[in-house]
Amino acid sequence: MIVKRYEAQLPPLTITGFAGRFHMPVRLVSIIIHDMLEAGLVLPTYVSNDNEEPAYIPALDIHMITLGYVLERLNDRGSSQFIPDFHEHFKDVVDELNKVWDAMIKASSETLLMNLSINIEGTPPPSTPITSISANPK
């Protein structure tokens, strides 16, 4: 979304802006943006002089940001050693998962984010849930 808005020369969105346009909880958007910041994928910028809430732009040339690159950067965060001896006890599983991961990264390494077709304006509000059903249809 950030890459596509940047490419279209639309103003960058803040966390609150993303949450509102895409009907997502602010906390979830905040976690996603924080992860992207730590991975070096986005940078904060201030669109007004009041310096209230930062908006977010791509951290590198959008012509170089592939889906594979994003997945690798996000995957490189954190630790894979949080369960002691996991890799030893589940070696076959880990090896197979690594093969799948490598194949997914290879397959997506040519897919530029800017070439993906997505709605950058926002999503429609969720449908209103049915709170009651009438027993007497008319």
Q: What's the rounded Cα separation, in Å, for the pair 19 and 15?
A: 6
Share of the chain above pLDDT 70, in %: 86
Tokens of 24: 């997502």
pLDDT band at 128 (very low <50, low <70, confident <90, very high): low
* For the chain, domain boundaries: 2-115
Average pLDDT over residues 40-50: 87
- Identify the CA nearest to 57 among candidates 95, 115, 88, 17: 17
For the chain, what is the largest distance between any 2 Cα atoms, rounded to a whole number of angstroms?
66
In words, the CATH class of domain 2-115 is mainly alpha
**Per-residue pLDDT tens over the stretch 93-113:** 989 998 999 999 999 999 999
Tokens of 112: 């530029």
Task: Give yes or no for residue 80 having a pLDDT over 90.
Answer: no
Backbone angles phi, psi at 61, to 5 degrees: -55, 125
Tokens of 138: 């008319």
